[in-house]
Amino acid sequence: MVNPCQSASCSHQCLLIPGGYQCSCPDGTAPVLSLNGKCNAAFEQEKNHPYRCLCRNGGSCIVSEQDSTKKICKCLENYEGSHCEEFIPRSIISNASSTWISIMLPIFIILFTFVTAFVIYTFFKRRNL
């Protein structure tokens, strides 16, 4: 099998097609007929790179309301900072008060029950004397 691209004079890329070959140019350029199918691609147009989101710890990039070209980080609940790099344990702080209540309330109820039982016991003990 003969490869027609071996003898082709393509300046960039040779594509095999049924019945022969076709020269291909980089994106944004076209072959120049006066150059016999060669690409006029001395300088390729720069392609836009995708935006790299710098947010960390699950934060997401959103467009700033003040400047549409600027991206800002929207952080998760327990993170702050320009790139969500600072951990602030808000959920732990809010749960601390509920933890304290869940421990102290049963203790208070038990003590109140014992004091009430002691007062009732003492009242009836004195009354029977």
pLDDT tens digits for the chain (129 residues)?
Answer: 788 888 877 777 888 888 888 887 776 566 555 445 566 555 556 667 777 888 999 999 998 888 877 889 999 988 999 999 999 887 655 555 667 778 888 999 999 999 999 999 999 888 876
Beta carbons of 57 and 76 less than 8 angstroms apart: yes
3-state secondary structure of 7: coil
Apex 54 CA angle, 48 and 58, nearest 5:
125
**Residue 31's beta-bridge partner residues?**
39
Claim: this prediction has a pTM higher than 0.85: no
Give dist(CA 20, CA 9) in Å, integer: 13
Q: Give the span between the Cα atoms of 99 and 71, in whole angstroms.
A: 39
